[in-house]
Structure 1
Amino acid sequence: MNITQCIVLTVGLSSSLASAIVIRHDVPDESYHAARSDFPPLATLYSIGVHGTLIDPEWVVTAAHAVFCMNPGQKIHVGNELVSVSQRYSYPEYQLGGVHDLALIKLAQPVTSIKPATLYDGIAEKGAGVWFIGVGGTGTGQQGQTVSYKENNGRLRKAQNKVVNVTDTDIVFKFERGSKGEALEGVSGNGDSGGPAFIKEGDKYVLLGVSSRVDSWFYNVGEYGVTELYTRVSSYSDWIQQVISAKDELTREKITTQNAFLQDGMKSMNMNELCASLEVK
């Protein structure tokens, strides 16, 4: 999901709205309300939302386009803990707005109070029913995103969807209307970047995808019919393990990029000031 709009709103440069989980119009909003216990390994990168998933006591996986402020010392929430970032590492072939939208955040100290999520390692994602979760604004499929993250005031929501297709790099979802959709059908939006598409197996949370971007010419974010792409975790499991298990910093730098991937709306900003304003407390 493109998060520039919610960033520029934060610093007063635009009237565009941010969104998080967008829901069905015919199901009460309360049915989508969630708690951290619904996905304990959830990480929140900024005060306006944007997420990741704890996959190792010292590592969070997120979208590469979301790491613009993930500098050493920046604070993030992992579960109920406030932890510092040590470094960021993105997939080396990623270009802003394209495929390979994946990054890893190394934490300055391990998180031991939460069991990390498990990475999905199969090839049968198509047809799977998954959950999304995130904070920010909201809306319904009839009108798309309509409520800003400020109005939502940090409400966490979760929603269901089904994988309709897979590619080498992405898993694909569509926001269906009525009986075609899941009971709690929904999609993510601006402000949910980096968040998980997950399933629960017993007491394990299994991560299938990472929220990346919309792929629809004729639908706005959150409207019925919109198609969303999540980076396909199973395609990058080898790279993830190589980064995590690297013996030293030089080895990691050879297989990653530390690019901040500043979007157009950010290039004229004072990034130190912006990152301080977005830091979670």
Structure 2
Amino acid sequence: MYAFHRLRATHVYFYKSCNFLKIELLKIFQTAPFSRSSQNCIVNGIQCSNEPWVVEIIVLHRQKWKHLCGGTLIHPNWVVTAAHSFFHPGKENQPFAPKNAYKVCIGSPKLCSGIQYNISAIHHPSFEITWDRKLVLNDLALIKLPLSIPDHLASPIPLATNSKECYVNRTGYIFGWGATTKNERDINDFSPYLQKGSVTIADNSQCSDITARLDDGKICIDCDQSPSVACNGDSGGPLVVKQENGRFVLIGISSYGDRNYENWDIYTRITAHLEWIHHIIKFHDVELFMNDQKNLIDTSLD
């Protein structure tokens, strides 16, 4: 979650975040100070206790496990995250690491901690990205866990289900272990503990004027009106809104940001992909999943 400087690119930048990507990322992106017309700094996220549905995905590199991105537990056996995190930046369709090089960390707000499970990711079949940063579609992946996560360790969050709800001008909340450094060249400076920030959700038509390709499958965040913004390391993390009873519902997944105008962050909209999510999980136990989600929603309305 960050801060004073952010990666600058021709059109968008991704919160691709591994510290061992330092050289590769600097080849792809140019660095420049981040500034606002109305302020000379961005308020950082705040450290928070472990949210029971926020998870961290780590990757094996040079015999060490490193932070990759965030994710969200939506079922005792399933996590949702961003598809682009599993592909090498700047090299279309090239996996970032072997399939057996990923784990998920659950149950701890501390970086690279908690209970760890080996995982495999299922990317959205229509996921598409061009690394000239002109096209990003269906940036979503599901991760099947090897066993059900017990309630005392973590608990799923309900998914948003109302596709007509746009959440414009609502306050959303983001979570992650992303970069906090002021020096954008030192992109390996992740938060040692989970951070929480608040953001303002904008109308997609405003954002489309800038990104040109913002479809209904995305949610736009107005950075100028947001106390916090996502940064390197926050990809795949949740965008949630608080209901009247104070409980959260998942509406988006952190994807990318527009760097030409430095005003917008883009999230993958959950309600646009419910059918695919349900289709994938039905191979595990769709009835159980639907019942779990109904129970979560019913409980959140208590």
TM exceeding 0.5? yes
Structure 2: 5+ residue stretches without partners: 1-12, 59-65, 87-95, 109-113, 131-135, 205-214, 286-302
- Whether 1:71 aligns to 2:99 is yes
- Structure 2: which amino acid aligns with 1:79? G
SS in 1 for 2:203: strand
SS in 2 for 1:65: helix
Structure 1: 5+ residue stretches without partners: 220-225, 249-281
Structure 1 residues 203 and 93: CA distance shift in structure 2, 3 A: same
Separation in 2, partners of 1:69, 1:108: 19
Separation in 2, partners of 1:15, 1:61: 24
Could you list the per-position Cα deviations for residues 208-257 of structure 1 after superposition, in whole angstroms to 9, with x for gaps in the alignment? 100111134233xxxxxx21110000111111011011269xxxxxxxxx
Once the two structures are superposed, the pairs formed by residues 24-173 of structure 1 within 5 Å of their partners are 29=44, 32-37=45-50, 39-46=51-58, 47-67=66-86, 68-69=96-97, 71-72=99-100, 74-80=102-108, 81-97=114-130, 98-112=136-150, 113-122=153-162, 123-124=164-165, 125-138=167-180, 146=184, 148=186, 150-166=188-204, 167-173=215-221
Separation in 1, partners of 2:171, 2:71: 20
Separation in 1, partners of 2:98, 2:196: 25
- Structure 2: which amino acid aligns with 1:212? S
How far did residue 71 of structure 1 move?
2.5
Separation in 1, partners of 2:246, 2:144: 25
SS in 2 for 1:236: helix
How far did residue 206 of structure 1 move?
0.8
Please tell me whether the aligned partners of residues 119 and 233 of structure 1 are also in contact (alpha carbons under 8 angstroms).
yes
SS in 1 for 2:256: strand
Structure 1 residues 189 and 59: CA distance shift in structure 2, 3 A: same
Structure 1 residues 151 and 89: CA distance shift in structure 2, 3 A: closer
Separation in 1, partners of 2:126, 2:169: 28
How far did residue 70 of structure 1 move?
7.7
Please tell me whether the aligned partners of residues 70 and 235 of structure 2 are also in contact (alpha carbons under 8 angstroms).
yes
Please tell me whether the aligned partners of residues 79 and 143 of structure 2 are also in contact (alpha carbons under 8 angstroms).
yes
Separation in 2, partners of 1:70, 1:84: 16
Structure 1 residues 132 and 86: CA distance shift in structure 2, 3 A: closer
Separation in 2, partners of 1:57, 1:156: 21
Aligned length: 224
Q: Which residue of 2 aligns with 1:243?
A: 280
Please tell me whether the aligned partners of residues 175 and 197 of structure 2 are also in contact (alpha carbons under 8 angstroms).
yes
Please tell me whether the aligned partners of residues 35 and 156 of structure 1 are also in contact (alpha carbons under 8 angstroms).
yes
Q: 2:222 aligns with which of 153, 174, 194?
A: 174
Comparing 80-89 with 156-165, which one deviates more in the overlay?
A: 80-89
Separation in 2, partners of 1:209, 1:54: 13
Could you list the per-position Cα deviations for residues 70-122 of structure 1 after superposition, in whole angstroms to 9, with x for gaps in the alignment? 83473221233423234311111111251110000001111112220111111
Please tell me whether the aligned partners of residues 199 and 221 of structure 2 are also in contact (alpha carbons under 8 angstroms).
yes
Structure 1 residues 70 and 239: CA distance shift in structure 2, 3 A: farther
Structure 1 residues 28 and 120: CA distance shift in structure 2, 3 A: closer
Separation in 2, partners of 1:72, 1:99: 26
Q: 2:240 aligns with which of 198, 213, 219?
A: 198
How far did residue 150 of structure 1 move?
4.1
How far did residue 194 of structure 1 move?
0.4
Q: Which residue of 2 aligns with 1:2?
A: 14
Please tell me whether the aligned partners of residues 100 and 169 of structure 1 are also in contact (alpha carbons under 8 angstroms).
yes
RMSD of aligned Cα (Å): 3.1
Q: 1:212 aligns with which of 252, 255, 272?
A: 255
Comparing 148-157 with 193-202, which one deviates more in the overlay?
A: 148-157
Please tell me whether the aligned partners of residues 68 and 85 of structure 2 are also in contact (alpha carbons under 8 angstroms).
no
How far did residue 25 of structure 1 move?
5.5
Structure 1 residues 13 and 158: CA distance shift in structure 2, 3 A: same
How far did residue 35 of structure 1 move?
2.3
Indicate the percent of aligned positions where both proteins have the same amino acid: 25
* TM-score, normalised relative to structure 1: 0.69
